[in-house]
Chains A and B, each alone.
Chain A
């Protein structure tokens, strides 16, 4: 019985991972992509973000991407990975700007990876000479020191658009408040429930739950991201079905 119990969790995990991988692979096949064209539902925050990026390039102001404080080795690192992808996309979209975007983070590994993401964005845009490592920086290693270090970036570096994507605590509301004072646009998304609650009240455009993981697809990061989004939709229905079947099973047959 113990052996069965110890096996069930890894087997379930493996099945879910294989199903997710299979779905993503299927939706990435060009023939499947052509047959069923992806229609994204309009997301007002993402539309406003694209507009804000365009405006900041036009008026020569700066974009600020803050990717939170989770270590890349922690269970919350997935949101940081989305943040890194956002840095790269924002770097590419704003490469024509007079003022390069700035990225802040609260972890050493994220700071190094965000430097790499920005460098990659400039390399792809054929502007490698514009890259400056100081554009991506660690602002503080603890939650409040990270926020305190990021506040001067919002206040003093002529930032007109702030994108907060990653793992934050409720203290991220201090960043959105600073952006509000500077009359800057803010899009905020986090995987933390406490931060989502705080950002819903404090940010101009908050994203809730898994909407965070849709950011790269909406910024046209590539077909794999779109395939991932579609696979995520299918998996959501699988989980809903499993929950309903499980609940009915428990009701009919008692605890399994």
Chain B
């Protein structure tokens, strides 16, 4: 049973925040009801910001406790989790020191980035290989004209965005055709995004009416 108090509170706060978006600041008279509504909205959003920061902290502690449990598992304990815990504790301690006693945040960030950026870059490289292979496997997985169009357009736009066709932009007719091709993905993307926006409105309204409650209270 979801708490009716939590639902009512969520609906009221949601309505206040939504109403704040529909009231243009330029037409709000000082001291009126709309002004109060906007002040409440700002306050609620500030609180949300603080709560989000604490939620991240809770999430990180959840991540650490999951790895502690995997590390201590009787069957197949995860040895890599030990590394995660060690480096997590090391990063937290050094971060606390750098931001308080040492006052050397630049050095701290430099060390963190020196580890994080190469790791993420190598994952990006793996992703490039994975996507290339996936494009090849696409023909095995899906039949029809759409996969062919997908792969051909991916190749065409790779070629266009690489700059290899830049010299052709001066050719009469061809240049304007290439320009027209460049705006084609934006047109298609806009169609998809309109659908996503409508879906987002409906999802938001379900929360606002209390019909969907991703919280138990």
Contacts and interface: CB of A to CB of B under 8 A. Distances in A.
A249 interface: no
A149 interface: yes
Interface in A226-249: 228-229, 231-232, 235-236, 239
A96 interface: no
Which size class do A's interface residues fall under?
A: 35 or more
Contacts of B196: 78-79, 191, 209-210, 212-213
Interface string A116-127: 110110010000
Which size class do B's interface residues fall under?
A: 35 or more
A199 to B, nearest CB: 9
A40 B18 CA distance: 31
Given A10-B21, A193-B189, A73 B52 contact: yes
A81 B203 CA distance: 7
7 nearest interchain CB pairs?
Answer: A108-B59, A213-B199, A210-B195, A78-B200, A108-B56, A138-B59, A108-B55
A107 B59 CA distance: 7
B156 interface: no
B114 interface: no
Contacts of A228: 202-203, 205-206
Given A108-B60, A137-B62, A201-B134, A224 B199 contact: no
A138 B150 contact: no
Contacts of A236: 194-195, 198
A49 interface: no
Chain A interface, DSSP helix/strand/loop, else mixed: helix
Interface stretch (B91-99, B100-108, B172-180, B208-216): B208-216
Given A137-B66, A177-B134, A78 B141 contact: no
A38 interface: no
Interface in A196-238: 196-198, 200-202, 204, 208-210, 212-213, 216, 221-222, 224-225, 228-229, 231-232, 235-236
A247 to B, nearest CB: 12
A157 to B, nearest CB: 10
B24 A174 contact: no
Contact of A6 (B24, B66, B120, B133): B24
Contacts of A88: 214
Nearest to B65: A134
Contact of B150 (A13, A142, A201, A225): A201
Contacts of B127: 170-171, 173-174
B69 interface: yes
Interface string B72-112: 00001010100000000000000000000000000000000
Interface string B22-65: 11101100000000000000000000110110111111101101
A222 B203 CA distance: 13
Contacts of B124: 144, 171
